[in-house]
Amino acid sequence: MRRADRLFLIIHALQGRRTALPARRLAETLNVSLRTVYRDVADLQTSGVPIEGEAGVGYLLRKGSDIPPLMFTAEELEALVVGTRFVKAFAGDKLAAGAQAALLKIEAVLPPELRDRAGRSRVFVPTRWYEAKTGMIDALHEAIAAGRVLRIEYRNEAAEASTREIEPLCLACWGKVWTLGAWCRMRGGFRNFRPDRIGTMEATGEIFVETAQRGLDAYLQAVSARRARADE
């Protein structure tokens, strides 16, 4: 995380609070050391941000420095909290960290009564429901965003092994199972791959460019057409 982003998150985490926020909680949320939190807070104080408190006690923004709260209803806020829990349980580590940081920003500018109600939501998601290869999800997510061609060792449902070069287009979560939508160069068409059946994976160094025939829109149309035929 960039230092500028950390400083922004610290300020928002302190806004609207009536009780001091422990440095340890900030460190856990930002995934940094306590020393980094202490240094960042000291830098903010030096630059004129009205932060009160000290290490070992916690931090508050001086009274009168709050910004207006976000206009969420209780139901809207609970939906965001539950959505964050789903992302943390089902997605890769990077998206989980992003969801936690986003929730921290939202909670920071809420009135205390709404923030407390959000924490009491009774809709739970088992933590890390998708246990297998969460690092694989992060790697595939990055490859999709960068347009990297991947070479994978893959085993199908019958445990038959093959080596494929694919152009990854999207990820879909089906509860415990993820699927990767991609253009398979060996098959010359769109295919779905399960990340938990990928043995090894490496970037070839090639960057692909989506086209009308081999891009995400074409993939989604192909999936819809297959479903329509299956329903006939």
Residue 201 corresponds to which tokens in the numbers above?
Answer: 């994976």
> In this predicted model, what pLDDT tens digit does every residue of 190-222 receive, in sequence order?
999 999 899 999 999 999 999 999 999 999 999
Q: Report the greatest alpha carbon distance in the chain.
A: 69
Indicate whether 14 pLDDT > 80.
yes
Domain spanning 1-67, CATH class: mainly alpha
Residue 199 corresponds to which tokens in the numbers above?
Answer: 């043995």
CATH number corresponding to 134-231: 2.30.30.520
Domains of the chain: which residue ranges? 1-67, 69-125, 134-231
| Confidence bin at 57 (pLDDT 50/70/90) | confident
> In this predicted model, what pLDDT tens digit does every residue of 75-98 receive, in sequence order?
887 888 888 888 877 777 888 888
> In this predicted model, what pLDDT tens digit does every residue of 123-176 receive, in sequence order?
777 665 554 455 788 899 999 999 999 999 999 999 999 999 999 999 998 877
Indicate whether 10 pLDDT > 80.
yes
pTM summary value:
0.61
